[in-house]
């Protein structure tokens, strides 16, 4: 079911990840090519602007978490933002499908 596509991987210089879906595919590529882009390249491939991707990578190196989700429903986006805010998330952002490449 829901957790079937989850996998774990390690990215040199950043550490272990647990991910699923498109982010797992992008970060798996980052693990393979860590010397030539690492997490930044994987996140850019998901449609995240380079400046934000670099900031996220630095936060990951400091032991923070990156949680990503994919949905086509605006109400799911609003609900996720509410959940993250309630939980004390530091940085919440969205990328529209129009700017994100198909994975």
Q: Is residue 60 part of a domain?
A: yes
* Residue 2 to residue 45: CA distance in whole angstroms: 24
pLDDT at 99 over 60: no
pLDDT at 84 over 80: yes
* Residue 77 to residue 60: CA distance in whole angstroms: 23
Q: Is the pTM of this model over 0.75?
A: no
The confidence score (pLDDT) of residue 36 equals 45
**Is residue 4 very low, low, confident or very high in pLDDT (cuts 50, 70, 90)?**
very low
Tens of pLDDT, residues 54-72: 888 888 888 887 777 778 8
DSSP state string for 59-85? HHHTT--------S-HHHHHHHHHHHH
Q: Is residue 6 part of a domain?
A: no
Q: Is residue 28 part of a domain?
A: yes
Domain tally for the chain?
1
The confidence score (pLDDT) of residue 41 equals 78
Q: Is residue 7 part of a domain?
A: no
* Residue 11 to residue 55: CA distance in whole angstroms: 16
Tens of pLDDT, residues 9-58: 444 555 555 555 566 555 555 444 444 457 777 777 777 788 888 888 88
Q: Is residue 41 part of a domain?
A: yes
**Structural domain range at position 31:** 17-86
């Amino acid at each position: 079911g829901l957790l079937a596509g989850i996998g774990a991987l390690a990215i040199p210089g950043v550490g272990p990840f647990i991910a699923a879906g498109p982010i797992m595919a992008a970060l798996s590529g980052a693990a393979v090519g860590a010397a030539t882009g690492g997490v930044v390249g994987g996140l850019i491939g998901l449609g995240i602007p380079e400046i934000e991707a670099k900031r996220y990578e630095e936060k990951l190196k400091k032991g923070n978490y990156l949680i990503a989700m994919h949905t086509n429903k605006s109400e799911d986006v609003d609900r996720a933002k509410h959940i993250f805010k309630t939980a004390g998330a530091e940085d919440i952002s969205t990328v529209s499908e129009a700017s994100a490449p198909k994975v």
